[in-house]
Amino acid sequence: MRILGLVVLYIAVALFGAAALAKLPHVLYGKRIAGQVVDADTGQPIAGAHVAFIWVSGIIPSGFTGHNSRDICYHAAAAVTDKTGHFQVEPWRKWSTYSVYPEEPIALVYAAEYEPAQQPLHQGPSIRPTDRVEERYALKRFSGAVDRRMNSLFFGLANQACAYGGDSQKSLYPMLRAIHAEARTIARTRDEYDTVHVIARLAAKAALAGDPDGPSDDEPLNEFIGKYLK
């Protein structure tokens, strides 16, 4: 029993130490990402496609059991493809006190008339970020009713916010603005217009890079929407 007690004490101390260290300022980073977006059927490049990356990690548990831990997005970066369908996102490093692990990001790809894509750059056990310079995203032409398009735009892309990304979340605004413009054009029903409004709020939040732990204030959001997203 004494040995068991010592083992439990050792584990508890180790977890407490790891949690304490995680809360100290430490470096989070991402590596260079480059590639191409093409039409899945023809292989032709898609110019003007939005390619965004969000770095998401589970919060390192601060308690013994680790219950109630959640995922947060701690960084975002985005690019638009050139006439050959190519894009590039530069590597980044920043100091942070968020209790998260450096992870590989999730890719979000949007182009008008195509199915949105949401694709993790790595699946399986977590690994440290690595250079990825030959990414290839093949998009299928979208075919379907307006309601399915609205759902794919919202649930596939627009609701993937990066609230804890600080100023980096501003990089998501061009993609969200383009999604909002399309959604606003095709919306027909009350529910669809409600979705357009939610997308506008998400775009405004990204552009303003609000602090999720700060005071709630709709006035700046409404002012931004009225000025830029009407």
The pLDDT tens digits for 176-226 are 999 999 999 999 999 999 999 999 999 999 999 988 877 778 899 999 999
- Residue 137's beta-bridge partner residues? 37
Rounded to an integer, the average pLDDT of 86-107 is 92
The answer to whether 56 touches 105, Cβ cutoff 8 Å, is yes
Looking at 114, 143, 172, the residue that finishes a domain is: 143
- Of 17, 100, 15, 10, the residue nearest 55 (C-alpha): 100
Chain-centre distance for alpha carbon 144: 26
Give the number of domains in the chain.
Answer: 2
Strand 132-139 with 33-39, pairing: parallel
The pLDDT tens digits for 140-189 are 999 999 999 999 999 999 999 899 999 999 999 999 999 999 999 999 99
Q: Is the pLDDT of residue 74 over 60?
A: yes
The domain in which residue 229 lies consists of 144-230
- Round the average pLDDT of the chain to a whole number and report it: 88
Chain-centre distance for alpha carbon 107: 8
The pLDDT of residue 26:
82
**Is 36 in the same domain as 5?**
yes
pTM (2 d.p.): 0.85
The pLDDT of residue 59:
83
**Is 59 in the same domain as 126?**
yes
Q: Is the pLDDT of residue 54 over 50?
A: yes
3-state secondary structure at position 183: helix
CATH code, domain carrying 13: 2.60.40.1120
Looking at 143, 175, 208, the residue that finishes a domain is: 143
Alpha helices in 145-189 (DSSP H): 146-153, 173-186
**Is 18 in the same domain as 103?**
yes
